[in-house]
Amino acid sequence: MALLVGIVMAVSPLQIAWPRFTQTETLALATTILVIAELLYSLAYNRLRIIPLAVALSFAMFIRLDGILLTVPTAVTGFIIYKPYRAFKKGLILLLLISIPIGVWTVRNIHVDLPSLFPQNMTFPEGAHQPTGYMKWGWTWITEEYQRPGWGWGVNRFNYDKISIDNKAYDSTAEKNRVEVLLEDLKKYTGQPFPQEIDQEFSEIASERLRNYKFRTLIVNPLKRSLALWTNLFSSYAWPNELPSKVSHQARLEAKRGGIIDLALEYPFIAISKGVTGGYKLFLQVLFLLILVLTISIKIKNEKIKNILWISLSIVLSRTAFFALTNNLETRYSVEAVPGIELLVTYSIVYFFKKYRERVR
């Protein structure tokens, strides 16, 4: 079983291609798998392996700070193994151990006089500060992954003449005209940090939208982002099958909204390869939801399947909630949930296959 799970994860089309990029996904996936392995060990020994877990979680957080979300499945495992009081006690010890390397790191950051102890939402040239007003404005309307590149990539490269805003961003013609005037003015600063006076204007627009559409901004939009993180079947998952740059951001948006056939006919290889990764992702999600429904309805009584389900589900929910609320709407941020899903699906398929063979005999 362990060998089979390892093979599935090693050749997973959603995991295998990430080393092509100098991004954190490869190491973040590795540390996620390490933490899951330690949680399975803990379940097998019926006790939390405090020291190895502390090391694994520290590695995960040093690779990328959202690794702290792995404390959620760790807590879930603690409550599976122990009664609440002991689970809290073990959790506090684990948090204390994790806080040591994080504390040392924080002291170092203070010592070298970093402008902020926490990283910005985006990385900007020469360590420039992010335009908080502009970022807040995007947070009030972005609900689809392909709205983000046109809105953000030109800004964090100081290429303001490359900004492309989706038409669905605006609530009125007056607002659209106001934003377009600001963007036209912003082009004069291409190659320079985002000007503070324009950023302030975007902050005011964002505040107005929040006042006028509080429920939509705080509740509906995060729910839409949560759905978008898992329903985008067109992501490349780091495979070399991205659409060429001549395809505009708006064209990609329209394709996702229903015009996919024309692009698929124009780029058949890209369409087929994306169909493989998208189809595999859909297969995993359907089986994951099926196992979840069957477990909740008490159709599945196997304790190992239940335990793996709660671990993988806690990873999915914690990552979805965090990235939806912070408007980090990129499919790659959901990749760290894939190993847990693959573990659950692979284990369940083998378990039910064995049960079927026993019944046939």
Question: What is the pLDDT, as a whole number, of residue 170?
Answer: 93
Closest alpha carbon to 63 in 28, 104, 98, 35:
28
pLDDT, one tens digit for every residue, the chain (361 residues): 889 999 999 999 999 999 999 889 999 999 999 999 999 999 999 999 999 999 999 999 999 999 999 999 999 999 999 999 999 999 999 999 999 999 998 899 888 887 666 777 788 887 788 899 999 999 999 999 889 989 998 998 899 999 999 988 999 999 999 999 999 999 999 999 999 999 999 999 999 999 999 999 999 999 999 999 998 888 889 999 887 777 777 777 777 676 677 777 777 888 888 889 999 999 999 999 999 999 988 888 889 999 999 999 999 999 999 999 999 998 999 999 999 999 999 999 999 888 888 887 7
Could you give the angle at the alpha carbon of 32 between the alpha carbons of 304 and 339, nearest 5°? 55
Q: Please name the residue that has the structure tokens 């204007």.
A: 201
Dist CA 46 CA 352 (whole Å)? 25
Give residues with Cβ within 8 angstroms of 118, minimum separation 6: 65
Question: What is the pLDDT, as a whole number, of residue 123?
Answer: 80
Closest alpha carbon to 137 in 197, 194, 207, 185:
207
Dist CA 183 CA 189 (whole Å)? 10
Dist CA 152 CA 332 (whole Å)? 16
Question: What is the pLDDT, as a whole number, of residue 258?
Answer: 67
Dist CA 263 CA 321 (whole Å)? 32
* 30: amino acid identity, one letter: A
Alpha-carbon distances, residue 68 vs 184, 185, 244, 318 (angstroms): 40, 40, 35, 10
